Amino acid sequence: MFRKILVANRAEIAIRIMRACRELGIATVAVHSSADRDAPHVRFAEEAVDIGQAAPRESYLNISNVIQAAKQTGAEAIHPGYGFLSENAEFAEAVAAAGLTFIGPPASAIRAMGDKAESKRTMRAAGVPTVPGAENLSGETEFIEAAERIGYPVLVKAAAGGGGKGMRVVRSAREMPEALESARRESQNAFGDDRLLLEKYIENAHHIEIQVFGDRHGHLVHLFERECSVQRRHQKIIEESPSPLLTPEIRERMGAAAVAAARAVGYFNAGTVEFIFDPRTADFYFLEMNTRLQVEHPVTEAVTGLDLAQWQIRVAAGEPFPYRQADLTQRGHAIECRLYAEDPAGGFLPSTGRILQFLEPRGPGIRVDSGIVTGSEVTRFYDPLLAKIIVYAEDRPAAIRRMRAALKETVLHGVTSNLDFLQAILARPEFAEGKIHTRWVETEFDWQPPEPPLEALLAAVLAGSALENRNPKIEHSVEPDPFSPWKSGSGFRIG
């Protein structure tokens, strides 16, 4: 087993991985930009290294700086988390070339699945169903001709990258020129690659993904599905497991397809195969494979009882994964809500500022993976994800009730967030019935933010006043109970 691991990431996922290391008795190294020098993940690790300026390309995306930090601290392995360098094949190769272990899949698998056009060809060869489409198109005329063969509506999609960037729905030939221009521009800015492909756009589709896991000894299984259809701008907001739509027969077929997809590229460690599911026909199609740990992995951990972050580390160290497919079952129901610093009423634009107060929900069956504390700065440089609230219960209705209670208990002042928006979605009968599709938020959910009650405004003012008077030495101390009033210069402490 490794003695020391460098976590090449920030915020909640960095802390999540460090917790897994701590339980395994492994020392951790945090890396941080100049903007993150006082971030919670920096204080959580045993060591920390400044790797550059606030802009990600100068710090978290700087391969040489990350590897140098690992070498100077004596780390034996690097965990990339998700985002940043996690799906960068060159980074995985550079880690290996430096004599370190990359905690993730082989670089060849990352490269094979990183190109959307190439991965679709690989999946077709492996017998995995793919969305009807066309690749290697160049000019506007070729795209229009292909769209007419496929049938409108179609989806213009970046051939590289993911996360909803470089995607446009096109419903007629008249819309194609503008869609191509904006998708190319966004893809080039996000991934440095402006290649596009075309896919049939399935109306009212559901987004269902299968968690796969394999070891270095050729053993590969799936860990069931996650329903991820609650989205905005092609990005997920709420995830759950099991899916309320899948029958045991469809679940088995989809799981087998995911394992076949992973095996086709020689995969090991944690990965996720994403599918588009058409509830009208019960057909599903390969969308893409994320060659890393997913944001929503906690719901899989809840229903399977496995610690995926720990198993990532263990199989990277050479341990066999001991569970066969027949050993694995789903128990109960889990839901995850992503708490973002963004304005749902203003086009989901990110919000920046200082967190004046953040209180996490507590209680049976509630887990919070957060990257912020009271006093944290939310900047424009990074993803606005603040925390993930995860609940587990005996069945789906109980999990929905528990999540609604957990969100009601959550307190966040200082930045605009989607907290009320999440509550409103969970209260809708369409969510209870499992009928929300990937475009539901944008096309059918009419929502207006509620007026904040007077007590909430007063609490924000008091929290800001207390923050100005807090004692940093107390705030940064190692306190076993993060909710202790002695943890910060709160109103209790000032009094």
Residues labelled as active-site residues: 292
CB of 412 within 8 A of CB of 37? Answer: no
What is the Cα–Cα distance from 328 to 247, expressed in whole angstroms?
17
Measure CA of the first residue to CA of the last residue in the chain; give whole Å.
48
Name the token pair of 307: 């610690």
69 backbone φψ class: left, alpha, beta (φ>0; ψ -120 to 50): alpha
What is the Cα–Cα distance from 29 to 46, expressed in whole angstroms?
6
Listing DSSP states for 182-233 in one string gives: HHHHHHHHHHS---EEEEEPPTT-EEEEEEEEE-TTS-EEEEEEEEEEEEET
Three state DSSP letters for 32-96 = ECHHHCCCHHHHHCCEEEECCCCCHHHCCCCHHHHHHHHHHHCCCEEECCCCCCCCCHHHHHHHH
What is the Cα–Cα distance from 431 to 345, expressed in whole angstroms?
20
Q: Of the candidates 492, 454, 482, 488, which has an alpha carbon nearest to the alpha carbon of residue 470?
A: 488
What is the Cα–Cα distance from 50 to 48, expressed in whole angstroms?
7
What is the Cα–Cα distance from 152 to 60, expressed in whole angstroms?
40
Q: Which residue has the tokens 């899989």?
A: 300
DSSP letter, residue 130: B
Angle, vertex CA 477, rays to CA 379 and CA 492, nearest 5: 85
Name the token pair of 321: 């994964």
Q: Of the candidates 474, 472, 382, which has an alpha carbon nearest to the alpha carbon of residue 32?
A: 382
Point out which residues pair with 416 in neighbouring strands: none
Q: Between β-strands 349-350 and 357-359, what pairing exists: parallel, antiparallel or unpaired?
A: unpaired
The sign of the CA dihedral 96, 102, 107, 109 is: positive
Q: Of the candidates 28, 54, 53, which has an alpha carbon nearest to the alpha carbon of residue 42?
A: 28
What is the Cα–Cα distance from 335 to 318, expressed in whole angstroms?
32
**What is the SS3 assignment for 401?**
helix
Cβ burial, residue 4 (10 Å; 0-12/13-18/19+)? middle
Alpha helix segments (H runs only) across 265-381: 297-304, 308-316
